[in-house]
Structure 1
Amino acid sequence: MLYVAFAIVATIVNLFTQEITSTLFQYEYEIIVSMFTGTLAGLAVKYLLDKKFIFKFETKSQKQDVTTFFFYSLMGVITTILFWITEYTFDLWFDTKTMRYVGAVIGLSIGYITKYYLDKKYVFIER
């Protein structure tokens, strides 16, 4: 349940960051820039929460923390592509910001479920 709560927190951070970006910078490629900034914000929050509370993983050095974050981000590439495709597709199909964010929530939900298993097997392990 804690993982689900943190996924919700990271989703809110992601969407809030997207909305701020979208509002402040209205231009042709706004959706791409806002999805990217939202992803970065959600990634940072989710990494810190997962590392400390879900996997209770303590790094012994800054190098290990950077390496762990690298693998965490790498596992997120696949799930992020899924999330971006879903959000962008909903934006194209429905042409409303509300449905765009519905697509984002669906994509993020599928991605976070997948990412949990990838992180458990490949990221938060002793190297």
Structure 2
Amino acid sequence: MLFAGVATGLNLLTQFIVKLSLRTHIDLNTLFLIQLITGTGVGFVFKFTVDKFFIFKERTLNRTLKQFIIYTLFAIITTGIFWGTESLFQIIFSFENRELLGGFLGLSIGYTTKFFLDKKWVFNVENSKNFVIINKKEK
């Protein structure tokens, strides 16, 4: 949970910095989209790295490409939860930084869901064999 908290903090801090930096230069809808994309990117890179090497204690790079692809597919699903929640808060409420509160809630739900998906399918050697990424021709 510590690393999920750090990833959430990095994501939301990145969004806040983007908001402060660009809010007088571009329209609010474009700004919101840039916030989502940059925060997600920062959180994604950090989270994959700590999940692989610290949470699930992988010490090899042998399966990294396959893991990264599967991890990314699950991240797309859970990012939908995060972005959807953050967007709903942006649309429904009118208080300052409402999108960040929605983002916090969405990230909490998304990271919890993602942990269980990753534990079962990404960083589990037996289960990840069931995912065929590239068909190798038999010799």
Q: TM-score with structure 2 length normalisation?
A: 0.81
RMSD: 1.4
User: Which whole-Å CA distance do the structure 2 matches of 1:32 and 1:119 have between them?
Assistant: 27
**Distance in 1 of aligned mates of 2:33 and 2:104:** 16
> What is the aligned partner in structure 2 of residue 112 from structure 1?
111
CA deviation after TM superposition for structure 1 residue 60, in Å = 3.6
Q: Is the 8 A contact 1:11 1:105 kept in 2?
A: yes
Following superposition, the deviation at residue 92 of structure 1 comes to 1.1
**Aligned partners of 2:83 and 2:40: how far apart in 1?**
9
Runs of 4+ in structure 1 displaced over 6 angstroms? none
Residue 19 of structure 1 aligns with which residue? Answer: 16
Q: Which structure's residues are more often helix, by fraction?
A: 1
Quote the Cα distance in structure 1 between the aligned partners of 2:96 and 2:86. Answer: 10
Q: Which has the larger radius of gyration?
A: 2
Aligned length: 122
Kept in 2: contact 1:91–1:97 (CA 8 A): no
Unaligned runs of 5+ in 2: 130-139
Residue pair 1:90, 1:100 contacting (<8 A) in 2 also: yes
Secondary structure of 1:88's aligned partner: helix
Match of 1:80 in 2: 79
Aligned to 1:46: 47
Contact 1:87-1:101 within 8 A present in 2 as well: yes
| Structure 1 residues not aligned, in runs of 5+ | none
Conservation of the 8 A alpha-carbon contact between 1:7 and 1:112:
yes
Give aligned-pair identity as a percent.
Answer: 40
CA distance in 1: counterparts of 2:98 and 2:50, whole angstroms: 28
Whole-Å separation in 2 of the counterparts to 1:89 and 1:111 = 15
2:96, 2:71 → 1: CA distance?
29
The C-alpha deviation readout for 1:29-79, integer Å capped at 9, x for no partner, is 110111111001001111111111111123343xx3222122111111111
What residue is the counterpart of 1:36 in the other structure?
37
